C-alpha cells in the first residue's frame, strides 16, 4: 500500500531535476523547424512582386481563400493588381506554394496570427509583400 | 461507303472522308493542331500521323489522306507516339512556354497535347522567336512568338470570312503569320482567327488577363444582335460576362461569329446599365423603388383600360418570345388596345404583309440551310453581308465550296459583289420593286414561266410597262439575270429587312415572291425566298403578333397619336424610336408631348431620357427564354449571370403589370412558353426542354400566290445626291453602341460617298460634312470610296450623335446635299 505511493513521489521528485518540456511562451520563443507553414509572403525580385497572376494558387486552393485579379502593366505584362488571402479560411496546406510556377509565394515562420477584427485577417498584397 | 479498320474497329464512311474523319466517326481521337472541320485539310503540323498497313514503312497524316477500301489503320503505336513527341518537342523549341501569363492556357491544344504525351524535356536547344507583339489593336492581340504556324487563321479568314487578312510571310524557320506588308491588322474584326488559333498567338484583347479559361462558367445561349440566330457560349465569372467562347459544334454556323457576336458582349456589364427604376419628379428623372415605379405604371395603365385606344405599346424584337407573348396578352388582352407595334411598323411589313399575301404565312418560306443547297442565290442589296454577317459566311461557303452561282441586285457594291463569279447589277436607289417587276416581265417575255402558275394574266398586265430603264439598268442585264435565275434548278432569293431599309417592305417581298413563284422556285429545298429579319427575335415578334391586327395604330400612327394627343399612355419595351425611327425631330416632339411614357430598357437611351418612368430591364444574358431566328428556328436563351443591379427582366415587369391589372398570372417564363405552344399554331408541339441545344425549325405550309405590285416611282431630284440608309458591318440596331468591341472599330456615324462626288465637292476621307435634306441637317464624318456609285450617299443608322434619322422621313431614298463643314 505504501510502496506505490513512494514510487509515485519518486517520479514526481525526479522531474524537479529534469529540464522542463513546456515552453514559457511568450517569454521563451519556439525554435521553428524548417518546412514550417506559417503566414504567406509574396517574393520580390527587382523591386516587384514576382507574381504574374497566373491564378494557379486560387485554382488549387482547397479552402478558396485566395483572390487574385490580374492587371496589365505599362509593358503589357501581367501582374497581380489584387492579391488577397483570407487568413480565416486558410488551412495552411501550402498547395499555393507548390503550385506557383514562378516561385512568387512562400510560407514564412510567422505563426502569431491572432487579431482583433475580422477585417484584419484579410491579407492584401501590400501586407503580404511587407516582410521581404 | 468505304469500309476500313481503325485500331481493330470496323467502320464504314463516305468515300470523300479522310482517315481522321473515319476515326472520329468511330470515336477514336487522333491529335490535331492544324486541322479544323470547317477548313480544307492542310497537313501542316504532322501531329495526326498514323500507320496504314498497306503503306507500311512510313507514317502518313490522317487529316489529308482519303480512306480507301480495306485500309487497316493503327493510330497509336510506339513509333507513332515517338514521332508525335518529336513534333511537340520541335514546336516547343520555339514556343515561349509562357503559359502562366498566356490567356489560352487551359484551352490550348499545344499545352493539352504536351501534357497528354508527357513531353517534359527537350533534346534540342535553340533561341526563341523575337517578333514584335501587336498590342495596338483594340480587339485582336497578335503575339507571333507563340505561333505554331498551323495557318488556321489565314485559312479561316480566306475560306470562310473571305477577307484574307493573314498570310505566311518569309520561308523556313523565319516564316511567320503576317498581314499585308506586315502592317497593323485592318480587317472586319470578326475574330474567327482568334477562335481557331490552337495556341495563344491570337488573343481577344478585351478579354486579356480577365480570367483563366478554367474559371469561366460556360453558358450556351443565342446571340442577341441580328436575326441570324447564331449560337454562342458565354464565359462568365463572378456575375459578369467576360467573353464568348468558341465551340465548333454549335449551330449551323459551327461556332463562327461576327464582330458583334464575338466582341460586342460588353453591353451586358456596361457601366451605363440602368440599375434602378427612375421616376420623373419635378421634371427630372430620379431614382425610385420598384414598388413606386410599378404603382405609377399600373395605375396609368388601369386607367387606360376605360379608354383602350389611348394606350399604345412599342416593343423591341430583341425581347424573348415569352416576353413578347406576355406583352401582347397584357395590351391586346387585358387592356384591350390594338395599338401594338415594333420596328417602326415598316421593318416587319415584308413578313406581316408581303409574305402573308404571297405565301400565306408571316415567315420566310425558306430556311438558312437552303443557302448551301441552292444552285443560284439572288441577293437583294449587297448589304445582306452587313446586316447578317454570319449568313454572309454561309453565302461565301456556298459560292466558294459548293459552286453556288450568285447574282446581286443592289444600289451599291459590297463584299458579296467581290465573290468569285458574282455578277452585280447596280440599280438606281429605291427601284428594287421596279427591278423585280422588270425581272418578272423578262421571265414572261423569254417564255421561262413555270407550268401551271395561277394568276399569270393579272401579273402580266401589272408588269406590262416594267422596263429595265425604270430601275436604271440595261435590258440585257435584266434578261441575263432573269434567264440565269429561271433556268437554275434551285434558286434562292435573299432579302434582308430592317429599320435601315424602308424600301424593303411588303411590296418588295411580294415582287420578289412573284419572281420565285413565276419560275416555280418555291416550296422545294434550296429554293424560295429568305426574308432576313433584322433583330434576334424579329421572326418571334411577328409570330407573337406584335403588330396591329385590326384597326389599331401602327408604329408611325402611334407616334402621330402621341403628337396629336390621341395616344395618352405609351409603353416602350426596349425600342429606341428617337434614334431608329424616321424623322427624329418629329419623334422627339411626339414623345415629349405624350402624357405618360414608360420605357423599359437596359440603358438610359435617347428615348428613355424623355420618359416619365424608366424601368431597368435585363439583357439576354440575365434571363431564360426563346428566340426565333430568321430561318424560323426557335432556340433556347439561357441565363448566364444574375440580374445587374435591381434590373428585372421584361417578363418579370410585364407579369407584375399583368397581375396588377387583373390579367394572367405566371410563375415563370416556362409557363408562358407552354401557353405559346398551345395557342400559336406554328409553335405547336414545341417545348423549351425539347428544343435542347440545337433548337427546332418550325414548319410552314406555303400557299404561294402571285401578288401584282406596282413600283413606286422615285423622282430623282436634280443636283442632289440620293441617300440610302442601312447597317454598318459592326453594328446592329442601336444596342451595339453599348458594346465596346463594335465601338472600337466603328465609333461614329458616317456618310459614304463615291470618289467622284467627293472630289467634285472637295471632300476628303474623314472630313466633317453637313448632310442636308428637306427634313433637316446632320453633321457626320465623310467616308470616301468606290463602293457606292456616283450620285449615291450611304449612311448607317445606329448612332445617337449625328443620327441619320434627323434627315430621313421614311422614304426609300432621301435626296440630300452634302457640303464640307
pLDDT tens digits, A3-38 = 999 999 999 999 999 988 888 899 999 999 999 999
Tell if the CB–CB gap between A56 and B209 is shorter than 8 Å. no
Q: Contact at 8 Å (CB) between B478 and B468?
A: yes
Torsions phi, psi of B313, nearest 5? -135, 135
Q: In this complex, which of B101, B133, B135 lies closest to A54 when CB atoms are compared?
A: B101
Tell if the CB–CB gap between B100 and A52 is shorter than 8 Å. yes
- Structural domain range at position B611: 278-343+539-683
Q: In this complex, which of B101, B133, B215 lies closest to A52 when CB atoms are compared?
A: B101
Q: Give the per-residue SS3 of B426-462.
A: ECCCCCHHHHHHHHHHHHHHCCCCCCCCCCHHHHHHH
A-B contacts at Cβ under 8 angstroms: 31
How far does CA B117 lie from the centroid of its chain? 41
Contacts of B721 (CB under 8 A, 6+ apart): B753, B757, B791, B792, B793, B815, B816, B817, B818
**Structural domain tally of chain B?**
5
Q: Contact at 8 Å (CB) between B163 and B216?
A: no
DSSP per residue, B273-305: B--S-EEEETTEEEE--HHHHHHHHHHHHHHHT
Answer whether residue B599 is part of any domain: yes
Q: Cell digits for B571?
A: 409603353
**Per residue in B493-529, is it b (16+ CB within 10 Å) or e — as a string?**
bbbbbbbbbbbbbbbbbbbbbbbbbbbbbbbeebbbb
Say which CATH number the domain at B299 has: 3.40.50.740
HSE at residue B735, side-chain half, CA atoms within 13 A, is 26
**Structural domain tally of chain A?**
1
Q: In this model, does residue A132 exceed pLDDT 60? A: no
Q: A77: which chain B residues are within 8 Å (Cβ-Cβ)?
A: 101
Please identify among residues 15-74 of chain A the ones whose CB lies closer than 8 Å to any CB of chain B: 52-56, 58-59, 70-72
> What's the sign of the alpha-carbon dihedral B128, B131, B132, B134?
negative
DSSP per residue, B159-200: HTS-----EEES-GGG-EEE-GGG----S----HHHHH-SSS
pLDDT in tens, B392-438: 999 999 999 999 999 999 999 999 999 999 999 999 999 999 999 99
Say how far apart CA B734 and CA B751 lie, in whole Å: 17
Kindly state whether residues B385 and B504 are assigned to the same domain. Answer: yes
Nearest alpha-carbon partner for B767 in B820, B710, B693, B691: B820
Q: If you measure CA to CA, which chain A residue comes closest to B101?
A: A54
Query: What is the widest separation between alpha-carbon atoms in chain B?
Result: 89
Q: B100: which chain A residues are within 8 Å (Cβ-Cβ)?
A: 52, 54, 56, 78, 101-102
Say how far apart CA B59 and CA B65 lie, in whole Å: 11
Determine the distance in angstroms separating the CA of B263 from the nearest CA of chain A, rounded to an integer: 19
Q: What mean pLDDT is predicted for residues B106-132?
A: 94
Kindly state whether residues B306 and B406 are assigned to the same domain. Answer: no
Determine the distance in angstroms separating the CA of B140 from the nearest CA of chain A, rounded to an integer: 14
Q: What mean pLDDT is predicted for residues B111-140?
A: 94
Q: B142: which chain A residues are within 8 Å (Cβ-Cβ)?
A: none
- The C-alpha cell 488571402 sits at A85
Tell if the CB–CB gap between B100 and A101 is shorter than 8 Å. yes
| Proportion of chain A above pLDDT 70, given as a percent | 98
Answer whether residue B210 is part of any domain: yes
Answer whether residue B422 is part of any domain: yes
Tell if the CB–CB gap between A55 and B212 is shorter than 8 Å. yes
pLDDT confidence of B210, banded at 50, 70, 90?
A: very high
Q: Is residue A26 reached through a cis peptide bond, with omega within 30 degrees of 0 on the bond before it?
A: yes
Residue ranges for the known binding site of A are 51, 54, 57, 61, 90, 93, 96, 100
Kindly state whether residues B453 and B513 are assigned to the same domain. Answer: yes
pTM metric for this prediction = 0.93
pLDDT confidence of B304, banded at 50, 70, 90?
A: very high
Nearest alpha-carbon partner for B481 in B458, B515, B520: B515
Answer whether residue B446 is part of any domain: yes
Residue of B106, B209, B212 to mutate, interface with A, max A Cβ within 10 Å: B209
Kindly state whether residues B797 and B667 are assigned to the same domain. Answer: no
Kindly state whether residues B548 and B585 are assigned to the same domain. Answer: yes
pLDDT confidence of B714, banded at 50, 70, 90?
A: confident
Q: What mean pLDDT is predicted for residues B754-770?
A: 95
- The C-alpha cell 434571363 sits at B623
Answer whether residue A1 is part of any domain: no
Say how far apart CA B490 and CA B487 lie, in whole Å: 9
According to the model, what pLDDT value does residue B417 have? 94
Tell if the CB–CB gap between B215 and A59 is shorter than 8 Å. yes
Say how far apart CA B400 and CA B421 lie, in whole Å: 9
Q: Contact at 8 Å (CB) between B101 and A68?
A: no
Measured in residues, chain B has a length of 821
Q: DSSP letter at B636?
A: E
Q: Cell digits for B548?
A: 396591329
Pairing of strands A105-107, B2-6: unpaired
Q: DSSP letter at A2?
A: H
Say which CATH number the domain at A53 has: 3.30.70.3270
Say how far apart CA B372 and CA A27 lie, in whole Å: 85
Kindly state whether residues B180 and B289 are assigned to the same domain. Answer: no
The three-point CA angle B511-B512-B516 to 5° equals 120
End-of-domain residue from the set B629, B653, B683: B683
End-of-domain residue from the set B476, B500, B534: B534
Q: A53: which chain B residues are within 8 Å (Cβ-Cβ)?
A: 101, 209
Determine the distance in angstroms separating the CA of A19 from the nearest CA of chain B, rounded to an integer: 52
Determine the distance in angstroms separating the CA of A70 from the nearest CA of chain B, rounded to an integer: 6
Residue ranges for the known binding site of A for [4Fe-4S] cluster are 51, 54, 57, 61, 90, 93, 96, 100
Answer whether residue A82 is part of any domain: yes
| Percent composition of chain A: helix, strand, coil (DSSP 3-state, to 5) | 25, 20, 55
Kindly state whether residues B245 and B383 are assigned to the same domain. Answer: no
Determine the distance in angstroms separating the CA of B219 from the nearest CA of chain A, rounded to an integer: 20
pLDDT in tens, A68-110: 999 999 999 999 999 999 999 999 999 999 999 999 999 999 9
Residue of B97, B100, B120, B145 to mutate, interface with A, max A Cβ within 10 Å: B100
Q: What mean pLDDT is predicted for residues B549-576?
A: 95
Q: Contact at 8 Å (CB) between B271 and B645?
A: no
Contacts of A105 (CB under 8 A, 6+ apart): A40, A41, A42, A43, A51, A57, A96, A97
Q: DSSP letter at B716?
A: P
Kindly state whether residues B237 and B134 are assigned to the same domain. Answer: yes
pLDDT in tens, B235-280: 999 999 999 999 999 999 999 999 999 999 999 999 999 999 999 9
Kindly state whether residues B571 and B650 are assigned to the same domain. Answer: yes
Kindly state whether residues B469 and B591 are assigned to the same domain. Answer: no
Say how far apart CA B606 and CA B805 lie, in whole Å: 13
| Proportion of chain B above pLDDT 90, given as a percent | 96
Determine the distance in angstroms separating the CA of A95 from the nearest CA of chain B, rounded to an integer: 16
Q: Contact at 8 Å (CB) between B413 and B407?
A: no
According to the model, what pLDDT value does residue A20 have? 85
The three-point CA angle B210-B213-B217 to 5° equals 90
Q: If you measure CA to CA, which chain B residue comes closest to A54?
A: B100
- Structural domain range at position A114: 31-130
Q: In this model, does residue B462 exceed pLDDT 60? A: yes
Please identify among residues 99-128 of chain A the ones whose CB lies closer than 8 Å to any CB of chain B: 101-102
Say which CATH number the domain at B770 has: 2.40.40.20
Kindly state whether residues B213 and B143 are assigned to the same domain. Answer: yes
According to the model, what pLDDT value does residue B56 have? 84
According to the model, what pLDDT value does residue B450 have? 93
Kindly state whether residues B529 and B550 are assigned to the same domain. Answer: no
| Proportion of chain B above pLDDT 70, given as a percent | 100
End-of-domain residue from the set B534, B552, B584: B534
Say how far apart CA B366 and CA B373 lie, in whole Å: 11
Q: How many CB atoms lie within 10 A of CB B457?
A: 10
Whole-number mean pLDDT of chain B?
95
- How far separated are the first and last CA of chain A, in Å rounded? 63
pLDDT in tens, B603-651: 999 999 999 999 999 999 999 999 999 989 999 999 999 999 999 999 9
Amino acid at each position: 500500500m505504501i510502496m506505490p505511493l513512494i514510487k509515485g513521489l519518486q517520479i514526481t521528485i525526479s522531474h524537479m531535476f529534469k529540464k522542463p518540456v513546456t515552453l514559457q511562451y511568450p517569454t521563451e520563443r519556439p525554435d521553428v523547424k524548417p518546412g514550417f507553414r506559417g503566414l504567406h509572403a509574396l517574393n520580390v525580385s527587382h523591386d516587384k512582386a514576382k507574381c504574374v497572376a497566373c491564378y494557379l494558387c486560387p485554382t488549387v486552393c482547397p479552402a478558396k481563400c485566395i483572390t487574385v485579379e490580374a492587371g496589365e502593366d505599362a509593358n503589357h505584362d501581367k501582374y497581380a493588381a489584387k492579391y488577397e488571402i483570407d487568413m480565416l479560411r486558410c488551412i495552411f496546406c501550402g498547395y499555393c506554394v507548390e503550385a506557383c510556377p514562378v516561385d512568387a509565394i512562400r510560407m514564412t515562420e510567422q505563426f502569431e496570427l491572432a487579431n482583433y477584427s475580422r477585417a484584419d485577417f484579410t491579407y492584401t498584397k501590400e501586407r503580404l509583400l511587407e516582410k521581404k | 461507303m468505304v469500309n476500313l479498320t481503325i485500331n481493330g474497329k470496323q467502320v464504314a464512311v463516305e468515300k470523300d472522308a479522310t482517315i481522321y474523319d473515319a476515326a472520329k466517326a468511330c470515336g477514336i481521337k487522333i491529335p490535331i493542331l492544324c486541322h479544323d472541320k470547317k477548313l480544307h485539310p492542310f497537313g501542316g503540323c504532322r501531329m495526326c500521323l498514323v500507320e496504314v498497313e498497306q503503306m507500311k514503312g512510313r507514317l502518313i497524316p490522317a487529316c489529308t489522306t482519303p480512306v480507301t477500301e480495306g485500309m487497316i489503320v493503327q493510330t497509336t503505336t510506339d513509333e507513332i507516339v515517338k514521332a508525335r513527341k518529336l513534333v511537340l518537342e520541335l514546336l516547343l523549341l520555339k514556343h515561349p512556354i509562357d503559359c502562366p501569363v498566356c490567356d489560352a492556357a487551359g484551352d490550348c491544344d499545344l499545352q493539352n497535347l504536351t501534357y497528354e504525351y508527357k513531353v517534359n524535356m527537350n533534346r534540342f536547344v535553340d533561341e526563341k522567336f523575337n517578333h514584335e507583339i501587336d498590342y495596338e489593336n483594340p480587339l485582336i492581340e497578335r503575339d507571333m512568338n507563340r505561333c505554331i504556324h498551323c495557318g488556321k487563321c489565314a485559312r479561316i479568314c480566306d475560306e470562310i470570312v473571305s477577307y484574307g487578312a493573314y498570310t505566311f510571310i518569309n520561308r523556313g524557320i523565319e516564316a511567320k503569320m503576317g498581314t499585308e506588308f506586315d502592317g497593323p491588322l485592318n480587317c472586319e474584326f470578326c475574330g474567327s482567327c482568334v477562335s481557331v488559333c490552337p495556341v495563344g498567338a491570337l488573343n481577344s484583347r478585351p478579354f486579356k488577363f480577365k480570367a483563366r479559361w478554367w474559371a469561366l462558367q460556360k453558358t450556351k445561349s443565342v446571340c442577341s444582335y441580328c436575326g441570324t440566330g447564331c449560337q454562342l457560349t458565354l464565359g462568365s465569372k463572378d456575375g459578369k460576362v467576360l467573353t464568348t467562347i468558341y465551340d465548333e459544334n454549335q449551330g449551323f454556323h459551327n461556332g463562327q461569329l461576327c464582330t458583334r457576336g464575338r466582341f460586342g458582349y460588353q453591353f451586358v456589364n456596361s457601366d451605363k446599365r440602368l440599375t434602378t427604376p427612375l421616376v420623373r419628379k419635378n421634371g427630372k428623372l430620379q431614382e425610385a423603388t420598384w414598388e413606386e415605379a410599378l404603382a405609377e405604371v399600373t395605375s396609368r395603365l388601369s386607367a387606360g383600360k376605360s379608354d383602350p385606344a389611348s394606350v399604345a405599346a412599342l416593343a423591341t424584337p430583341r425581347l424573348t418570345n415569352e416576353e413578347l407573348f406576355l406583352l401582347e396578352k397584357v395590351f391586346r388582352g387585358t387592356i384591350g388596345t390594338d395599338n401594338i407595334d415594333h420596328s417602326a411598323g415598316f421593318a416587319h411589313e415584308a413578313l406581316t404583309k408581303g409574305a402573308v399575301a404571297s405565301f400565306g404565312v408571316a415567315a420566310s418560306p425558306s430556311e438558312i440551310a437552303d443557302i448551301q443547297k441552292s444552285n443560284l442565290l439572288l441577293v437583294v442589296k449587297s448589304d445582306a453581308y452587313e446586316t447578317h454577317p454570319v449568313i454572309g459566311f454561309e453565302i461565301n461557303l456556298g459560292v466558294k465550296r459548293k459552286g453556288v452561282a450568285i447574282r446581286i441586285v443592289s444600289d451599291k457594291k459590297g463584299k458579296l459583289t467581290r465573290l468569285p463569279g458574282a455578277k452585280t447589277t447596280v440599280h438606281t436607289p429605291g427601284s428594287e420593286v421596279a427591278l423585280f417587276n422588270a425581272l418578272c416581265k423578262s421571265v414572261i417575255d423569254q417564255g421561262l414561266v413555270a407550268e401551271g402558275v395561277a394568276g399569270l394574266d393579272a401579273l402580266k398586265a401589272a408588269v406590262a410597262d416594267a422596263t429595265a430603264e425604270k430601275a436604271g439598268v440595261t435590258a440585257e442585264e435584266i434578261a441575263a439575270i432573269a434567264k440565269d435565275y429561271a433556268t437554275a434548278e434551285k434558286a434562292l432569293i435573299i432579302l434582308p429587312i430592317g429599320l435601315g431599309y424602308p424600301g424593303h417592305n411588303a411590296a418588295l417581298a411580294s415582287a420578289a415572291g412573284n419572281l420565285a413563284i413565276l419560275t416555280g422556285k418555291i416550296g422545294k429545298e434550296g429554293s424560295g425566298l429568305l426574308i432576313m429579319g433584322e433583330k434576334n427575335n424579329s421572326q418571334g415578334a411577328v409570330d407573337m403578333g406584335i403588330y396591329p391586327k385590326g384597326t389599331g395604330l401602327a408604329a408611325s400612327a402611334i407616334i402621330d397619336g402621341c403628337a396629336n394627343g390621341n395616344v395618352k399612355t405609351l409603353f416602350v419595351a426596349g425600342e429606341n424610336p428617337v434614334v431608329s425611327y424616321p424623322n427624329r425631330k418629329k419623334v422627339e416632339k411626339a414623345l415629349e408631348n405624350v402624357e405618360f411614357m414608360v420605357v423599359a430598357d437596359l440603358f438610359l437611351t435617347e428615348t428613355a431620357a424623355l420618359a416619365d418612368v424608366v424601368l431597368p430591364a435585363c439583357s439576354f444574358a440575365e434571363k431564360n427564354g426563346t428566340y426565333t431566328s430568321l430561318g424560323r428556328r426557335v432556340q433556347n436563351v439561357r441565363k448566364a449571370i444574375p440580374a445587374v443591379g435591381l434590373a428585372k427582366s421584361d417578363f418579370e415587369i410585364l407579369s407584375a403589370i399583368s397581375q396588377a391589372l387583373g390579367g394572367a398570372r405566371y410563375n415563370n417564363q416556362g409557363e408562358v412558353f407552354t401557353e405559346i405552344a398551345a395557342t400559336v399554331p406554328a409553335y405547336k408541339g414545341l417545348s423549351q426542354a425539347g428544343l435542347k441545344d440545337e433548337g427546332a425549325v418550325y414548319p410552314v405550309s406555303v400557299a404561294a400566290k402571285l401578288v401584282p405590285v406596282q413600283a413606286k416611282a422615285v423622282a430623282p431630284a436634280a443636283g442632289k445626291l440620293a441617300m440610302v440608309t442601312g447597317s454598318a458591318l459592326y453594328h446592329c440596331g442601336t444596342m451595339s453602341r453599348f458594346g465596346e468591341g463594335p465601338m472600337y472599330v466603328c465609333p461614329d456615324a458616317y456618310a459614304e460617298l463615291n470618289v467622284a462626288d467627293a472630289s467634285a465637292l472637295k471632300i476628303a476621307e474623314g472630313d466633317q460634312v453637313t448632310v442636308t435634306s428637306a427634313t433637316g441637317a446632320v453633321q457626320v464624318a465623310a467616308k470616301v470610296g468606290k463602293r457606292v456609285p456616283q450620285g449615291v450617299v450611304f449612311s448607317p443608322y445606329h448612332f445617337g450623335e449625328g443620327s441619320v434619322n434627323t434627315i430621313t422621313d421614311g422614304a426609300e431614298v432621301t435626296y440630300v446635299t452634302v457640303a464640307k463643314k
